[in-house]
Amino acid sequence: MTDTVVRSETVDGVCTVTLDDPERKNALSAQLTSELMDVLDVAEADDLVRVIVLTNTGNTFCAGANLSERSGRSDVTRPLRRVDPAELFARFGRSAKPYVGKINGHAVAGGMGLVAAMDYSVMLDTAKMGFTEVRIGVAPAMISVLCLPKMRAADARAAFLRGNRFLAPEGERMGIVNRAVAADKIDAAVDEVVADLVKGSPSALAATKQLLATVPDLTTAEGFAWTAPLSARLFEGDDAKEGMAAFLEKRPAAWIPEHYR
C-alpha cells in the first residue's frame, strides 16, 4: 500500500487536487476515496480556496471501483475513513465551491461519475470513456444519478447498454464533459475557466450552485417562491455591495485573487 495517493496544492486561490495512483489507474480504492474526502474537506473549509481543480497523474483519470477490493483481494493494512460512494459523488454538487475537472486521461465506470460530478470539465481529446459496468456483470447504478441529467436519453441508453468505450469528443457531444481538447491546450482551457470562476463572489457562486441543484425539481410557481427570497438576501449581502461598488468604480472586486486581477 503506497504512502499517499491523493495530493493537493493551493496557489492563488486555486486548490489542485491530484489523483496519484497510476499503478491502479486511480481506481476508487478504500485508500484513494478516504484520502480524497480528507483533502476535499480541508480545501472546502479554507476560505482562501476559491476553486477546486480535480486532475490525475498517469494515463487514466479514474478506472472506477477497485475490483481487487470488491472481490475480497485487498492489500489495505491500516484503518481508513469509511467512505460511502454516494457521499463521495454527491459532495461536489453540494459544495459551495466550484469544481473543475481537468480530465487528463481515460475515465470508465465509476470514473464517469467523478467526471459528471464536476461543475465544469475539460478532457484530453485522445482519452477514452465509457460505462463498462455491464461487461463485468453490474450496472452503472449510482453514477446514473449524475450522468443521466447531462445526457440525451438515446445516448444514455446506447452507452449504458453497449458498455463500449468512446473518445472524449463523443463524450463532449453527449454532454458528459464540457470540452475535449488537445494535450497542448488542456492547461490553457482549464486556466480560462478558473479565471472566470474566481471573478464570481464566494456567496454568489455558492447560491448559484444551490439553485442549479434545486430549481430543476421545482414547479414554476415553486421556483419563483424559492428564488425570490434568495435573490433578496443576495442583494442585501456584503458581496453584492462590494460587487456593485467595484463595477461602478471600474475596479476589480475585493474577492478576486491578486493573480487574476
Rg (CA), the chain: 19
Q: Quote the CA–CA distance of 151 and 83 in Å, as a whole number.
A: 27
Grid coordinates in use for 223? Answer: 421556483
Q: Quote the CA–CA distance of 49 and 28 in Å, as a whole number.
A: 25
Computed from CA positions of residues 50, 151, 108, 93, in that sequence, does the dihedral angle turn out positive or negative?
Answer: positive
- Threshold 0.85, pTM exceeds: yes
pLDDT reading at 85 higher than 70? yes
Domains of the chain: 6-197 (3.90.226.10), 202-260 (1.10.12.10)
The 10 Å Cβ neighbour count of residue 160 is 19
DSSP per residue, 140-172? -HHHHHHHGGGS-HHHHHHHHHH--EEEHHHHH
User: Residue 228: phi, psi to the nearest 5?
Assistant: -60, -50
Q: Quote the CA–CA distance of 194 and 120 in Å, as a whole number.
A: 10
Closest CA to 18 of 104, 93, 76: 104
In the chain, the N- to C-terminal Cα span, in Å, equals 43
pLDDT reading at 129 higher than 90? yes
Residue 74 confidence (pLDDT):
55
DSSP per residue, 80-126? -----HHHHHHHHHH-SS-EEEEE-SEEETHHHHHHHHSSEEEEETT
pLDDT tens, position by position, 225-242: 999 999 999 999 999 999
The mean pLDDT of the chain is 95
Query: Are the beta carbons of 238 and 197 closer than 8 angstroms?
Result: no
Give residues with Cβ within 8 angstroms of 259, minimum separation 6: 12, 13
What are the catalytic residues? Answer: 133
Grid coordinates in use for 147? Answer: 450522468
pLDDT tens, position by position, 6-42: 999 999 999 999 999 999 999 999 999 999 999 999 9
